[in-house]
């Protein structure tokens, strides 16, 4: 019977080892699944970070274009304001020239001279130059 007790003990140890082996295999399988899950999450996070970086790059490019457009608009405004000032000065000069020409014409035409009855009998011409 001693043999059977030993063989029963060996059988229980064998079952115990099989249970432990199954637990270790389950733990290894779970760890592998967890590792795959974490790797997928890391891959997804990296893809998201890459997309965010690309979006940031595109926004930076658009911001640069907008700044260039704003600078051009400011330059155009300065030119328009400057041109407007020159045109206003030119307009004033034109008015003064026109008024001067009218004065010169009235001087060149002379002033009518009337007699006591209201009849125009001649013109006074300024001959001083």
Can you give the pLDDT of all 129 residues of the chain as single tens digits?
444 545 567 677 888 899 999 999 999 999 999 999 999 999 999 999 999 999 999 999 999 998 999 999 888 888 877 776 767 666 676 677 766 666 655 555 566 777 777 777 776 666 665
115 — phi, psi (to 5°)?
-90, -175
Q: How far apart are CA 19 and CA 123, in angstroms?
A: 138
Residue 40 CB contacts under 8 Å (≥ 6 apart), including other chains: none
Cross-strand pairs, 112: 123
């Amino acid at each position: 019977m001693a043999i059977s007790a030993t063989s029963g003990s060996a059988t229980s140890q064998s079952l115990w080892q099989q249970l432990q082996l199954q637990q270790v295999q389950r733990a290894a399988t779970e760890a592998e699944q967890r590792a795959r899950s974490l790797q997928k999450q890391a891959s997804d996070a990296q893809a998201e970070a890459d997309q965010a970086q690309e979006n940031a790059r595109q926004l930076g490019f658009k911001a640069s274009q907008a700044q260039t457009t704003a600078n051009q608009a400011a330059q155009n405004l300065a030119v328009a304001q400057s041109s407007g000032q020159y045109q206003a000065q030119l307009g004033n000069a034109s008015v003064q020239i026109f008024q001067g020409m009218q004065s010169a014409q009235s001087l060149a035409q002379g002033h009518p001279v009337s007699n006591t009855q209201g009849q125009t009998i001649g013109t006074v011409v300024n001959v001083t130059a």
